[in-house]
Structure 1
Amino acid sequence: MKKTTTIYMFLLCSLLGFSQERQITKADKNYDKYSFIKAIDIYERVAEKGFKSEEIFKKLGNAYYFNADYDNAAKWYGELHKLKDTEIESEYYFRYAQSLKAIKKYSEADAMMQKFRDSKTSDKRAELFSEQPEYLEYIKFQSGRYQIENFPANSEYSDFAPSFYERSLVFSSARDTGTFARFKHSWNDQPFLDLYGGPLDSDGPVQGIRKFSKELNSKYHESTTAFTKDGRTVYFTRNNSVGRKIKRDSLGVNKLKIYRATIVNGVWRDITELPFNGDDFSTAHPALSPDGRRLFFASDREGSLGQSDLYMVTINVDGTYGEPQNLGSSVNTEGRETFPFVSDRGNLYFASDGHPGLGGLDVFVVRADANSNGQFDVVNIGEPVNSSSDDFTFIINDGTGEGFFASNREGGVGSDDIYRLTEIAPVKNECRQKVKGTVTDRDTSEPLARVEVLVIDEENKIIERSVTDDTGIYIVTLDCTRDHFIRAVKPGYSTQETLVEATFEEEELTINFELEKDEVTADVGDDLAKILDLKPIYFSLNRSRIRDDAKIELAKVIAAMEKYPQLKIDVRSHTDSRASDDYNLRLSERRAKATVDYLVKNGIDLSRITGKGYGETQLVNECGNGVQCSSAQHQLNRRSEFVIIQ
């Protein structure tokens, strides 16, 4: 019976294994065609039967990741990282970190980003993580600059990519309002996207939502529109297709292209694709500069730094186009930079998961006044526009401060929802913090003029200099998103330095310095210990051995005597009052001798040192014979002094 059962189980396992292989093969085909919804279902069925595979966990994680279901992506990437003896590619550290951010597990996400940085130090995303370890504090500093509210016309499907058109709002939606059956895309099991729109009233809401144009809409995807100022020309994104037929690349994948159309008598005509499109890469999400002379877009064409980069192309007067130019590594990363928008002031907004953010895609801005020598200062615009979910397709009217963006955050109606926004305060390129204070002489408390005050960054570079005035006052300005050292320097005085940690607050700080003179004068009879600011040379109870803590202080005495060869000192050792007077006198003599011997042993000539024990005759407190004192009070009397005799 057992043998029969064993054979039955063997056959069953073999059949299950064969069945799993067939299911995986089928899932792979769907995955390779980016049919993620079908692939997820099949892969999960196999995984739930206990079949563990690096490939399956990667593809499940990716399928959810690229559908912005970060909760499930984190689950399967987590399973991938649990596998033993598996060499994980660096990109899966990054994707796992992004997924963890999306479910607000920031400390775990940072740990994954640390592993990503260690495995791929040359990656721009790794560099940015290293440069901005306090990215959450910086995002907090930028937050609260917008008020947002849900767009009342959102559907249960995906609504995103708003754009201004005359006095209307045009956006992309997967809603199915037609009377005919709609195709569904196997990537996310949603209907294909069409362009919709409606007029904006004076308060911002959009009225009378309807399909924007039967000429522009097709049975495939249309999204992300950009209109010229005169409203006569539109640039928009569509699947690569000819007529009603989809075109695919060499791997069977359909790409995106940008098309152009003009309006004649209320009808959009002359729909043509732009000449810099390609069948083997995507070109998408157009945005126009305020003067209409430059077109920005996203693409994964050859030469891109990451999964998608931002590009710019010049629109010539005769309607031709220049060569597309990559916006460079200060904007683009190895991740996704996409959905550009240029406001009337020339500020470039875009979505990215490569720059430090809250999770998924965040919205960033490069202000028009922040471009310096081809480098751009990229700023996360903070909450509430950004969240731990995907936030993207940001647009704003600089004149009114009103705008829109899309997000797949919780609380929405559909998978992607449009939100209306109102700007309360503009995003700042930098956090500037004033630091002021007074530099004084430590001994006299008098203000010190002409003290050089240096601001030094974490790489030990001097980034600002200031000099105190006649009243000892200095003023410097810091980037309050980074740690700095402030150093006070004046000849004849010891240099002082203090660390100012990043505060992410534009509040004025006061930091005062008290400088001590480098050189001090000494007379016969002065205690060298006080001049050198030595700690007392203490001894253990009933002991004359030089303790390790005393050796540190004696090293300073030795250094002073080496520097000043004419200096002679008298070592005076003392005890507390416990034990008899005679015993204490002999003990102090041994301590004086031990101190002198130590100095001689370390290179000081005996002719320069004398020593004597004073027992308990020179107590520093009231702890004499018969007086009850603590151990700490008695310790103060067990000491050696170094009195200058020449």
Structure 2
Amino acid sequence: MSRLYILLLILVSATTWGQSSSVANRYFEEYAYTKSASMYEEIVAEGDSSKVSLQRLGDSYYNIRNTQKSEPIFAALLAKYPNDVEAIYTFKYAQSLQSNGKDEQAKVWFEKFFEAVKNDKRAQRFISGINEVNQAKIPNAKNLGLVDFNSEYSDFSGFIQNDTLYWYSAHNSSGGKTYQWNDQPFLDVFASKVSDKGATANLLSENILNEVNTKYHEATLCITKDGKTMYFTRDNYDGRKLGKDKDKTTHLKLYKATLEEGKWTDIKELPINNDAYSVGHPALNADETKLYFVSDMPGSLGESDLYRVSIVNGNVSEQTVENLGDHINTEGSEMFPYLDAENNLFFASNGHPGYGLLDVFVATPLGDRYDAVENLGSRVNSNRDDFGFVVKDGVGFVSSNREGGVGDDDIYRFDFEKCTKALFGIVYDERTKEPLSGATVRLIDANGEQSQMLTTGADGSYRFDAVDCVAEIVITGEKPDYRSVKETVALNTPETEQDLYLNSLIVDDQIVLNPIYFDFDKSNIRPDAAYELEHIVTVMNNHPEMVIEIESHTDSRGNDAYNRALSDRRAKSTRDYLYSRGIATGRIKSAIGYGES
């Protein structure tokens, strides 16, 4: 049965400003993307194909993850403005294509995105600022401290296999020779037990010393999950003599060893080695199908680049060597790659913005490529060399020659976890002060995208226990038949309380709005009036049986007849706006102006 609701309009004269696009923009800026999508859809359908309208319509659908609709909009945007659209829209279009199962097309547009970004290397590298860290992606290193087996020489990590840390040191060279670069003994491989307190100094794997170490450099290794295959770096040494290039320089090479009856045997060079350049610093991806490494081979972009090669049937395929590209590599040095269980790529570089010399960076996977490179921040990095980052099960190690160490390079141990805070509160009805159940609470990140969402229970409470460690965050509250609310909350403490108060749009038999403003002596619907009337559209769509009656009034300026006529025109303009937004004619019983009475 229909119920009659009275829409009471308070009509006040004011100054004019923009039209329907202003209303859509306002909803967009309030993260009301479903509403803004609905309005931008009409704006574009009416012939407005401006860059802003297409971008915001596409963004509205993209942010609510309606990629079926964002895909054609981004396609139209890129086709109409091929040279005047930010590269991020190429990325969003590629993601929309991929989400819709169009992998080959998506691959083309992902390549275009990377091509567009890499053309401006300085903008790419410094866009986030020299020392900024994206706390939303990068876990937090805590309790950084020296391990107890650092020496006066170079000691650095590393690789973690089960509960063993493999590390490298010049403190006890098996050959007694010294390396002329730094006048220290050559590096050897060591292994120590990882404990709750870090790592203990006692050596655990004498077979590594006996079978892998030589009188020259051995360092940087990785071992397969089954423990049977090791890849490691060694000077170009065959057990008898050092190999050299035409300039008499000895380079690094990668070797493979197999564990048989508890001993590393069958040590072989990898086919990607060459006497003319260095190949070293191995790391495996999560499924052990790719071996990452460092080289200065011809075609490198800088002093040393990160590469990867496929492993096919247990063998390295030299035909598949791939430079990771200038999204990762720079004109400087990239080295010490490490991949965690999610294939996040950690590496050291002096070519990306940092604190000085080598810093540790991370690149998150995006399909078969990598997303933006980010600095791990001052809890890991210093203004000196920082490198050799590894982590497993919340325990990590990093190496540094920063001040306060024991010797040259030293190994530091830390706890590695995602930095989070808690945000909680209660959603109330503003008028009754009663808690609201069934309210939707959302967290909006710095990109305007929803990061978390929940619905309040019977007591109206909400709680997010894993809010990223940012300075502030936007939170929104919404519920059918209520005016949505948006708050920017400062996260200054581990736990922050923020209550939300929603204004009901229905009180008794009236739909409650803020005052509807018209220009002096005018009856056209202004953008701010349209914004308020959209609440009526929402309420009536929520209640298909609802029938309303529009009554409008004016102030006391003008005579009675003039005011009645003006208010009547305004009532009917309001009715016509609701018709234009899809409200059926039979659902508006009347629209009458009563002047100042």
Give the alignment's TM-score, normalised by structure 2: 0.51
Which of 183, 189, 203 is the aligned partner of 1:190? 183
> Could you tell which deviates more after superposition, 315-324 or 373-382?
373-382
CA distance in 2, matches of 1:472, 1:167: 46
Amino acid at match of 2:486: E
The CA deviation at 1:154 is: 0.9
Decide which of 391, 407, 430 is 2:400's aligned counterpart.
Answer: 407
Higher relative contact order (CA 8 A, sep 6+): 2
1:392 aligns with 387
Match of 1:159 in 2: 155
Match of 1:338 among 332, 335, 338: 335
> Cα offset for 1:310?
4.1
**Contact 1:381–1:427 under 8 Å retained in 2:** no
Q: Which protein is bigger by CA-based radius of gyration?
A: 1
Aligned counterparts of 1:374 and 1:500: Cα–Cα separation in 2? 36
Query: What is the RMSD of the two structures over their aligned residues, measured on CA atoms?
Result: 5.8
Q: Name the residue aligned to 2:140.
A: 142
Give the distance between the partners of 1:560 and 1:492, measured in 2 at CA.
30
2:404 alignment partner, SS class: coil
Q: Following the alignment from structure 2 to structure 1, what is the Cα–Cα distance between the partners of residues 347 and 269?
A: 23
Work out the CA distance in 2 between the residues paired with 1:605 and 1:345: 69
Structure 1 residues 137 and 460 mapped into 2: Cα distance closer, same or farther (>3 Å)? closer
Unaligned runs of at least 5 residues, structure 2:
1-116, 526-549, 568-593
Contact conserved, 1:198 with 1:207, CA < 8 A, in 2? yes
Is the 8 Å Cα contact of residues 292 and 309 (structure 2) preserved in structure 1? yes
Separation of aligned partners in 2, 1:492 and 1:215: 72
Q: Which one of the candidate residues 540, 548, 556 is aligned to 1:570?
A: 556
Does the 8 A contact of 1:201 with 1:207 survive in 2?
no
Structure 1 residues 121-520: aligned runs within 5 Å: 124-127=124-127, 129=128, 135=133, 142-144=140-142, 146=143, 148-155=145-152, 157-162=153-158, 171-174=167-170, 182=178, 184-185=180-181, 189-191=182-184, 193-195=186-188, 197=190, 204-206=200-202, 212=209, 216-218=213-215, 221-227=217-223, 234-240=230-236, 243-247=241-245, 255-261=251-257, 272-278=268-274, 281-288=277-284, 295-301=291-297, 308-317=304-313, 319=315, 321=317, 323-324=319-320, 332-334=328-330, 336-341=333-338, 350-352=347-349, 359-363=356-360, 373-374=367-368, 385-395=380-390, 398=393, 404-419=397-412, 421=413, 423=415, 426-428=416-418, 431=420, 433-442=422-431, 444-445=432-433, 453=441, 455-461=443-449, 479-481=467-469, 484-489=473-478, 494-501=483-490, 503=491, 507=495, 509-515=497-503, 517=505
Counterpart Cα distance in 2 of 1:345 and 1:312: 17
Residue 87 of structure 2 is matched in structure 1 by: none
SS at match of 1:277: coil
Q: Deviations over 1:183-210 (max 9, x none)?
A: 512xxx4346332547769971136999
Q: 1:122 and 1:325, CA in 2 relative to 1: closer, same or farther beyond 3 A? A: farther
Q: Alignment partner of 1:286: what SS?
A: strand
Asked if 2 retains the 8 angstrom alpha-carbon contact of 1:300 and 1:309, the reply is yes
- Structure 1 portions without partners, runs of 5+: 1-116, 523-530, 535-554, 572-595, 610-642
Q: Are the structure 2 counterparts of residues 204 and 565 from structure 1 closer, same or farther at C-alpha, using a change threshold of 3 Å?
A: closer
Q: How many residues align?
A: 418
Q: Name the structure with the higher strand share.
A: 2
Aligned-residue identity in percent? 29
Deviations 1:595-623 (A, max 9, x none): x8xx9xxxx889989xxxxxxxxxxxxxx
1: CA distance, partners of 2:411 / 2:375 = 19
1:166 CA displacement: 11
Using the alignment, how far apart are the partners of 1:198 and 1:452 within structure 2? Answer: 52
* Secondary structure at 2:495 match in 1: coil
Q: Distance in 2 between matches of 1:438 and 1:172?
A: 56
After superposition, residues 92-107 of structure 1 pair within 5 angstroms as none
Structure 2 vs 1, CA of residues 448 and 363 (structure 1 numbering), >3 Å: closer, same or farther? same
Inter-CA distance 152–459: structure 2 relative to 1 (3 Å threshold): closer
1:100-125 per-position Cα deviation (integer Å, ceiling 9, x unaligned): xxxxxxxxxxxxxxxxx999467543
Task: Tell me the SS of whatever aligns to 2:417.
Answer: coil
Alpha-carbon separation, structure 2, partners of 1:454 and 1:349: 31
**Cα offset, 1:275, TM superposition:** 0.7
Shift of 1:247: 1.1
Q: Supply the distance in 1 between the matched residues of 2:258 and 2:462 (Cα, whole angstroms).
A: 62
**1:447, 1:166 → 2: CA distance?**
50
Contact 2:156/2:167 (8 A) holds in 1: yes
- Pairing 1:102-121 to 2, within 5 Å after superposition: 120=120
**Cα-to-partner distance string for 1:411-442 (whole Å, 9 max, x where unaligned):** 223321234x364xx422x7475454314244
- Separation of aligned partners in 2, 1:449 and 1:168: 51
* Distance in 1 separating the partners of 2:342 and 2:552: 74
Instruction: Give a deviation string over 1:36-55, Cα, whole Å, max 9, x none.
Output: xxxxxxxxxxxxxxxxxxxx
Change (3 A) 1:255 1:498: same
| 1:288 Cα offset (Å) | 4.8
Q: Deviations over 1:521-572 (max 9, x none)?
A: 99xxxxxxxx9779xxxxxxxxxxxxxxxxxxxx86848977799745336x
Compared with structure 1, are the counterparts of its residues 169 and 487 closer, same or farther at alpha carbon in structure 2 (3 Å cutoff)? closer
Deviation at residue 393 of structure 1 after TM alignment: 1.8
Partners in 1 of 2:167 and 2:454 — Cα distance?
53
**Residue of structure 2 in register with 1:639 after alignment:** none
Once residues 169 and 472 of structure 1 are traced to their aligned partners in structure 2, the CA distance between those partners, rounded to angstroms, is: 49
Q: 1:235 deviation in Å? A: 3.1
Give the letter for the 1:513 counterpart.
Answer: Y
Q: What is the TM-score normalised by the length of structure 1?
A: 0.48
1:142 counterpart letter in structure 2: N
Structure 1 480/321 Cα, relative in aligned 2: closer, same or farther at 3 Å?
Answer: same
Whole-Å separation in 1 of the counterparts to 2:385 and 2:354? 10
* Alpha-carbon distance in structure 2 between the residues aligned to 1:431 and 1:119: 36
CA distance in 1, matches of 2:243, 2:596: 105
In 1, distance between residues paired with 2:462 and 2:165? 53
User: Partner amino acid for 1:152?
Assistant: F
Partner Cα separation in structure 1 for residue 227 and residue 514 of structure 2:
81
Instruction: Note the C-alpha offset of 1:326.
Output: 5.2
Q: How far apart are the structure 2 equivalents of 1:561 and 1:338?
A: 69
What's the secondary structure of 1:409's corresponding residue? coil
